[in-house]
Chains A and B, each alone.
Chain A
Amino acid sequence: KQEVTQIPAALSVPEGENLVLNCSFTDSAIYNLQWFRQDPGKGLTSLLLIQSSQREQTSGRLNASLDKSSGRSTLYIAASQPGDSATYLCAVRSDDYKLSFGAGTTVTVRA
């Protein structure tokens, strides 16, 4: 069974600092990996999706890398802003079409 771990569980940084969020998974036989953002009491918003054949994906200030062989993905957020405060979830899709989620990293960006 796929196990997904996100470290740290919480992170607080001053505005302007770069954010580094980590995700690890136990089974490297994945189809893709998706990063989501969740605001309090809200649903999930997709940020980036990396296919198993890709090494990274970029969207604006966000960059996600994938090292399938070591079971790791990292989400980088450049020049953080207070609006980036949220919980970030990593989800791994295996070939059986099911997503396995980490518990998330809660980010606070201080103005």
Chain B
Amino acid sequence: DGGITQSPKYLFRKEGQNVTLSCEQNLNHDAMYWYRQDPGQGLRLIYYSQIVNDFQKGDIAEGYSVSREKKESFPLTVTSAQKNPTAFYLCASRQPAGQGVHGYTFGSGTRLTVV
């Protein structure tokens, strides 16, 4: 079945450490997204990419970085500059235009905790 795989499911980060969250999709979608979810708040957009080798900052990009070297992969790095990284991180991809209803598909998420 096609879908989005996020790993790891749980991740612990020490102060001053960079960590990378993996997101892989086999849906053949061009557009991919990273969202952050905090309790009681809506999802907030960190970065998005509409095509390989191109990406744009979202609403809360500070302290994060991404790469898009392959269509299937969109990893997110949480750097030491992100002062409050504890959150639930969700990766998504979007159905291409002209191929139906243009819906978004989400992965199962990574819960990041600072220790």
Contact = CB atoms under 8 A, between A and B. Distances in A.
Contacts of A51: 101
B66 interface: no
Contacts of B43: 89, 91, 99, 101
Given A41-B111, A97-B50, A103 B40 contact: yes
Contacts of A100: 42
A4 interface: yes
Given A102-B42, A103-B42, A36 B48 contact: no
A98 interface: yes
Interface string B75-115: 00000000000001010101000000111111111010000
Chain A's interface size range is 20 to 34
A19 to B, nearest CB: 20
Contact of A43 (B42, B45, B94, B108): B108
Nearest to B107: A43
A44 B108 CA distance: 7
A4 to B, nearest CB: 7
A34 interface: yes
A26 interface: no
B46 to A, nearest CB: 11
A104 B42 contact: yes
A45 B107 CA distance: 9
Interface string B19-41: 00000000000010101000011
A69 B91 CA distance: 31
Interface in A53-90: 89
Nearest to B4: A43
A97 B101 contact: no
A44 B111 contact: no
Interface of A: 4, 31-32, 34, 36, 41-46, 49, 51, 89, 91, 93, 97-104
Q: Give 9 closest A-B pairs by Cβ, nearest first.
A: A101-B42, A44-B106, A43-B108, A101-B43, A43-B106, A103-B42, A49-B103, A43-B109, A49-B101
